[in-house]
Structure 1
Amino acid sequence: MAKRPAPAGPAVAPRAPTAGGAQDGASRARHHPSRLVLLVAVTVTVLVVAVLVLPRATEDSGPPDRSVDTYTVRLGDTISSVALLHGTTKEAIQDANGLSDASSIDPGSQIEIPHPVGDDAELPTFLAADPDLVALRPAFATAATTYDVPVALLESLAWQTSAWDADKVGEEGRVGIAQLRPSTVEYINDELVAGPALDPDVAADDIELMAAYVDELLRQTDGSWAATAAAYRLGLSAANAQSWDGETIGFVSDVLAGVPDFDAA
């Protein structure tokens, strides 16, 4: 479609000079800057303002630390409920954020979530007993490194999503380990992946598709592992809701509770 030209401005008839117009014009020239002077002044001012508001790059600036889990408090959250959601303890969250039993957390505020460490952490029994599934772990590690996502989070999310079953067929055309909709696969290949398109029917490609998507979700959720897990299952709009339903909370809790098992193995 051809671009519509901008509408022409209204024609303005020149104003007839008054008596003594030449003298008045000279007086105006003495007391008022020309259009060229005004244009230069405005341009310089804009440039100066632009320079002042540009953020200054520092040697310390860099990508966010994905190993740190930052959670945005939601309506109805308490320190105890947040700890339960993330598979950690109330005391651990209090210590990490300088909180006490008398502290309250307000919706919209952000708190750091320490990663739980379990003495009895180990891979799920079904996974550990299957050499074909164990053989997928290097693919998870490679994809996690490529997209700078925590490998244990990626593995646990995939385990709760499909139990790493490359042959699983879900609703709405979802297939494989990542269980992504075809439209989501297309988006990831078009927008998030450099190089040839990845095939969800190939296990290693499917894992990379998942890692690329988790990377994007971590960006969109300010690094929240819980919100990323919720967004992976339900979409960003649901993940950004003020509160989650019991099914979503259960899924997120299972994903995060499994992180220490994959991290320790």
Structure 2
Amino acid sequence: MIIFSAEKALKISSLPDLHLLHFMEFTNTLKNQARGKNSSQHETMRKALLICGILSSLLYAAITMAVPLQWEDYDSASQTVSELSAVGAPTRMLWILVSSPYTFLVIAFSWGVWKSAGENRRLRIAGGLMIAYGALGVIWPFAPMHLRETLAAGGSTVSDTVHIALGAVTELLYLLALGFAAVAFGRPFRVYSVVTFVVLLIFGTLTFLDAPHIATNQPTPFIGVWERINIGVFLVWMIVLALILLQKEKQQTRGKRVK
């Protein structure tokens, strides 16, 4: 009877410890679920940001083809994209309206690149450079060039100078971003990025050589072709980078599920 009472007392005295143990297990389960939920939300956010890179390229390609159709005298082969938003151009307001989302999509994508970099320092630098590249897009509408006829008549202003400076800085930023992203991944993407860089360099030089003729209103029969090749090559590169990072996210998600 005494032994039974002792055993019963021991069981009763151990009940608080059992309850505490169960409570701790329950708390840990909730914490793990919360961590898993937060991790899942972060992954979804990163994927959404990376998809913005694909959308931005498709949008810009679409507007460079659609907006010129609204200007009867515009020739895509012999005129630059900047002339679509020039002071006095009939497509200026339309261009500003439809191109604004591109700027924010690029910034979102660049933030996604930064977030996806993890400990990859080179990719993080590339993401930072691309954020700066995207942020410059906010300034572009406030620094338009003037039409060729106006420039030839001596109507150039500070706006034209700032426009040229923005173009130079923008090109430098995306070339640097391309370089850092190239060395952040394996050989296939590195080779592809080098080829992209060479193409950008060639057609960028051709565009640069023709550019002075704009201010004197002289013929530039292929400047639009050179520039659009440059633009297209860079837009495709951004899509490829986005797809690689999305694939990386997918592989990481699978790895977590296996664990």
Give the TM-score category using the shorter length: under 0.3
Question: TM-score if structure 2 supplies the norm length?
Answer: 0.27
TM-score normalised according to structure 1 size: 0.27
